[in-house]
C-alpha cells in the first residue's frame, strides 16, 4: 500500500477538515473578550470627591484618567478572581459571608455551610466591598507568584545608597538637661543662671531651681526633630544658633514655652550614614519598587484579555 493510498481515507479527511475549520473559527471568529467599564457617573463623582478630600482641589484630567485606570484595573482583578472562583477557597470571604447572612437575619436554623451556600446563591460575594478588596489582594498575590519581583542585588543597594546619600545623612544628636523658666519667672532667669555659674551647680542640683516642665528635664541622644516635639521648633533653631558645646551650659534659650538654661552633656554632629546602617530600609524600598513593577507588568499583560472601556 502506497503512502498516497493510505491518505485516501474518509475518516482522515474528516479529521483534517474538522481541524482546519476549528482553526479558522478560532482565528477568524475568536471568543469575545469580557467587557469592563466604563465607570458610571456615580463612581466617577466618588473618585473626584476622594481626591478633593485628600488634596483640597479637583483633579486634573490626567489625574482623573489615572484614577479611572486604577479603578478599572481593580475591577479586572476582581473579575478574574471571580472567574477562577477564588472566593470558594478563602476563609476571609467565608467568614464575611456568614457575618452578612446573620446580619440579614437569614441564618436561623441553618448550619454555617448552608448559610455560606445560600449567600453564594444570592450572589452576595459580588457586591460586598470587603470581599472585593480581599479578592483583589489574593489575585495580586497570584500574579506576583507567577511573575516574582527581582531580589535587589548588592550593586543595586549601593547605587541606591549613593543616589540618596544626602537624604540619608544622620542628623546631629543632643544629650541635654535644662532648667526651665515659665513666663512668670522669666525675670528671675538672669539671677538663677548667675547662681548656677557661681556655685558651680550640677544639672541635677540646678534642677531644684527650675519651673515644672511636663516633658521632663533630661533628654538623651535626641535629634532636632525629637527635640522639637518636646520644646517646639524655635527652641531647636535658637539652640543651634547659640553654638552648643559638650560639657558647657548654653542659654538662656527661648522656646514656645519660655526660657531654658541648657546643659549640653554630649553632642554628636551630623554625618554621612554608612551603607550598613541603612541597608535594611534601602532593601525594603528596592523590594517594594520591584514588586510594584512586577505587578504592573502582570496587570498590563492581563489587560490584553479584556475589552476595557474608558
d(CA 35, CA 309): 7
Query: What is the predicted pLDDT for the residue at 17?
Result: 55
Within this chain, do residues 257 and 181 fall inside the same structural domain, yes or no? yes
Query: What is the predicted pLDDT for the residue at 13?
Result: 47
Within this chain, do residues 133 and 78 fall inside the same structural domain, yes or no? yes
Query: What is the predicted pLDDT for the residue at 290?
Result: 94
Query: What is the predicted pLDDT for the residue at 199?
Result: 84
What is the total count of domains within the chain?
A: 2
Task: Name residues whose C-beta falls within 8 Å of residue 204's C-beta, 6 or more positions apart in sequence.
Answer: 177
CATH number, domain of 183, equals: 3.10.50.40
Query: What is the predicted pLDDT for the residue at 14?
Result: 56
Query: What is the predicted pLDDT for the residue at 152?
Result: 92
Q: Which residues of the chain have pLDDT under 50?
A: 1, 3-4, 7, 11-13, 20-22, 24, 26
Domain that holds residue 123: 41-149+295-308
User: Does a structural domain hold residue 219?
Assistant: yes
pLDDT tens per residue, range 144-188: 999 999 999 999 999 999 999 888 989 999 999 998 988 888 888
Query: What is the predicted pLDDT for the residue at 197?
Result: 86
Within this chain, do residues 74 and 109 fall inside the same structural domain, yes or no? yes
| Residue burial 235-269, b: 16+ Cβ < 10 Å; e: rest | bbebbeeeebeeeebbbbbbbebbbbbbbbbeeee
Within this chain, do residues 183 and 87 fall inside the same structural domain, yes or no? no
Within this chain, do residues 177 and 131 fall inside the same structural domain, yes or no? no
Degrees, nearest 5: CA angle 218-222-226: 105
Amino acid at each position: 500500500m502506497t503512502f498516497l493510498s493510505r491518505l485516501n481515507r474518509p475518516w482522515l479527511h474528516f479529521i483534517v477538515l474538522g481541524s482546519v475549520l476549528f482553526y479558522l473559527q478560532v482565528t477568524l471568529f475568536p471568543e469575545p473578550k469580557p467587557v469592563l467599564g466604563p465607570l458610571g457617573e456615580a463612581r466617577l463623582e466618588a473618585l473626584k470627591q476622594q481626591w478633593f478630600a485628600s488634596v483640597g482641589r479637583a483633579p486634573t484630567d490626567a489625574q482623573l484618567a489615572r484614577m479611572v485606570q486604577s479603578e478599572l484595573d481593580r475591577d479586572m482583578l476582581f473579575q478574574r478572581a471571580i472567574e477562577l472562583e477564588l472566593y470558594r477557597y478563602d476563609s476571609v470571604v467565608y467568614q464575611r459571608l456568614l457575618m452578612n447572612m446573620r446580619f440579614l437575619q437569614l441564618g436561623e436554623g441553618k448550619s454555617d455551610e448552608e448559610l455560606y451556600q445560600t449567600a453564594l446563591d444570592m450572589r452576595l460575594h459580588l457586591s460586598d466591598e470587603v470581599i472585593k478588596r480581599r479578592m483583589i489582594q489574593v489575585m495580586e498575590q497570584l500574579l506576583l507568584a507567577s511573575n516574582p519581583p527581582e531580589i535587589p542585588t548588592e550593586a543595586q543597594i549601593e547605587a541606591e545608597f549613593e543616589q540618596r546619600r544626602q537624604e540619608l545623612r544622620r542628623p546631629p544628636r543632643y544629650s541635654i538637661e535644662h532648667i526651665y523658666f515659665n513666663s512668670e519667672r522669666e525675670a528671675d532667669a538672669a539671677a538663677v543662671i548667675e547662681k548656677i555659674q557661681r556655685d558651680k551647680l550640677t544639672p541635677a542640683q540646678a534642677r531644684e531651681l527650675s519651673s515644672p516642665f511636663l516633658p521632663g528635664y533630661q533628654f538623651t541622644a535626641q535629634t532636632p526633630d525629637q527635640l522639637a516635639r518636646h520644646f517646639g521648633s524655635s527652641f531647636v533653631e535658637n539652640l543651634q544658633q547659640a553654638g552648643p558645646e559638650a560639657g558647657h551650659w548654653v542659654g538662656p534659650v527661648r522656646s514656645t514655652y519660655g526660657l531654658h538654661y541648657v546643659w549640653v552633656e554630649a553632642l554628636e554632629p551630623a554625618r554621612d550614614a554608612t551603607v550598613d546602617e541603612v541597608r535594611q530600609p534601602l532593601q525594603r524600598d528596592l523590594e517594594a519598587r520591584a514588586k510594584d513593577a512586577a505587578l504592573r507588568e502582570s496587570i498590563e499583560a492581563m489587560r490584553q484579555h479584556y475589552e476595557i472601556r474608558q
